Structures are given as C-alpha cells and as structure tokens.
Amino acid sequence: MIRGHVFIVNEKTLPIHLEYQFVGVSSGERDTNIALLADMFRVKKGGFFGIFKASDNMVYNTTGSRAFSPNLSLKLIYRKKLYHTRSIKRVYWNG
C-alpha cells in the first residue's frame, strides 16, 4: 500500500512555508506525538510528489514558543526541510 502525506496550508501560512522551505505538523498544544513523529520519519530525502522534495531524512522537533516560529498561528512541532524541483512562477489561491 502506498501511503501519502498531505500538508495543508492557508493563505497566511503558504508564503511562510515557501519562504522558509519547510512543512510541519501540529498536535494541538502538545509538544510530542509519537504517531506524527513516525509519519514524518517516513518522508525520506527526495520524497514527495510535485514541485517539492524533502531535503534530508531528518525530522526537526520544535517546542514551546519556537513551534510558532516564524509568525505562525498554529504550533508545528515536527518539521521537514524542503526544496523546489522547479521555480514557482505563480500560486493559485483558489485551486
């Protein structure tokens, strides 16, 4: 069975993810979640489809107020670095 990962962003967070080149997951107010951590470790270097790929096999854990950085309204405790496989010329906000 092929497993997929969907990282959801909104009009406020998409520019931040594009600028800082990362994706992340939230577990509400908790600083740890073993199931989310296991999911993030499944995303390997070069993994993802489309224009983004994972830069490495690392999962970065951020806790406390650092989990809201940079200027996020949602606490993202586990993060992966990304790179673009091609340049982004336009972002379609409504599909």
Asked whether the predicted pLDDT for residue 16 surpasses 70, the reply is: yes
User: Contact 28/43 with Cβ under 8 angstroms?
Assistant: no
Q: What's the predicted TM-score (pTM) here?
A: 0.75
Model pLDDT, residue 4: 62
Confidence of residue 93 (pLDDT cuts 50, 70, 90): low
Mean per-residue pLDDT of the chain:
80
Helix residue ranges, H only, 1-95: 14-20, 34-42
pLDDT (tens digit per residue) in 45-69: 887 766 778 889 999 999 888 989 8
Asked whether the predicted pLDDT for residue 95 surpasses 60, the reply is: no
For the chain, which residues make up each domain, given as ranges? 7-67
Backbone angles phi, psi at 59, to 5 degrees: -120, 125
